[in-house]
Amino acid sequence: MMLSVENLNVFYGHIHAIKDVSLHVKEGEIVSLIGANGAGKTTTLQTISGLLKPKSGTITFEGKDITKTEAHQILQMGIAQVPEGRRIFANMTVKENLEMGAFTRKESAAQLKEERKNFYDKFPRLRERKKQMAGTLSGGEQQMLAMGRALMANPKILILDEPSMGLSPLLVKEVFEMIKTINQSGVTVLLVEQNAKMALSISNRAYVLETGKITMEGDAKELLHNESIKKAYLGA
């Protein structure tokens, strides 16, 4: 197992936001976590990334207990997160944003340049805009850049928090295509989405989170055809 979360409990003061959550991600998978507003999706992701500390439970990554590990070390171990709302550096260029993503790397400047080139080869739309200020990119391009910046940390697993939020249907499609491409290049993906239909359609497995608890889990294609999922999350 690449990533295992066992019986996680997270509090904000007295608010018990995450209740005994267990989930796992195998190497190479796309796993999605779906749920309504306030279900605890972001809280779960931030706890995995080390930005929040749980009251109890364990998080294991490649056999190592990372429950108490600092966020920057977790990033260095290979877990990179694209936060909700993207948060790119608006006053920096596309290229500078990608450079920032590589700040924990110890490889040579030439090696990192080569990786940026590979990234631009895969996502040429950003190459055309490499000197453009990131804040002037469209919402979809900003999401692509945010993913690119996270990839520059050379992660083993990429964690995405609502990558399709606020995007037009066409851009949503592009962003999901990009996630598939990233996964096919060997990066495991843990995806949080309110767009359950798109998320399930590209995932291997999925978990449903409701008010802090996992209420359902299984094969993504099966969940896509599950009646209660359809009613609650697929607008059917």
Ligand X SMILES: Nc1ncnc2c1ncn2[C@@H]1O[C@H](COP(=O)(O)OP(=O)(O)OP(=O)(O)O)[C@@H](O)[C@H]1O
- Using CB under 5 A as the criterion, which residues of the chain lie in contact with Mg ion when the complex forms? 41-42, 84
The answer to whether 49 contacts ligand X (rule: CB under 6 A) is no
Asked if residue 6 lies in contact with residue 47, where contact means CB atoms within 8 angstroms, the answer is: no
Asked if residue 49 lies in contact with residue 81, where contact means CB atoms within 8 angstroms, the answer is: yes
Binding partner at 37 among Mg ion, ligand X, none, C-beta below 5 to 8 Å by kind: ligand X
Given 1, 26, 28, 38, the residue binding ligand X (CB under 6 A): 38
Q: Looking at 30-38, 98-106, 138-146, 182-190, which segment touches ligand X (CB under 6 A)?
A: 30-38
Q: Count CB atoms within 10 A of the CB of residue 27.
A: 12
Q: Which residue lies nearest Mg ion, judged by its C-beta?
A: 42
Binding partner at 15 among ligand X, Mg ion, none, C-beta below 5 to 8 Å by kind: ligand X
Report which of 212, 235, 206 is spatially closest to residue 38, judged by C-alpha positions. Answer: 212
> Binding string, 55-94, against ligand X, x = CB under 6 A?
-----------------------------x----------
Size of the site for ligand X (CB under 6 A): 13
The answer to whether 43 contacts ligand X (rule: CB under 6 A) is yes
Helical (H) or strand (E) element with 124? helix 124-127
> Binding string, 118-157, against ligand X, x = CB under 6 A?
----------------------------------------
Per the structure block, which two tokens stand in for 152?
């520059």
CA 169 to chain centre: 20
Residue matched to tokens 């997160």: 81
Given 3, 25, 35, 229, the residue binding ligand X (CB under 6 A): 35
Classify 197 as helix, strand or coil. helix
Asked if residue 46 lies in contact with residue 125, where contact means CB atoms within 8 angstroms, the answer is: no
Measured distance CA(177)–CA(82) in Å, rounded: 16
Contact positions vs ligand X (CB under 6 A) = 12, 15, 17, 35, 37-43, 84, 194
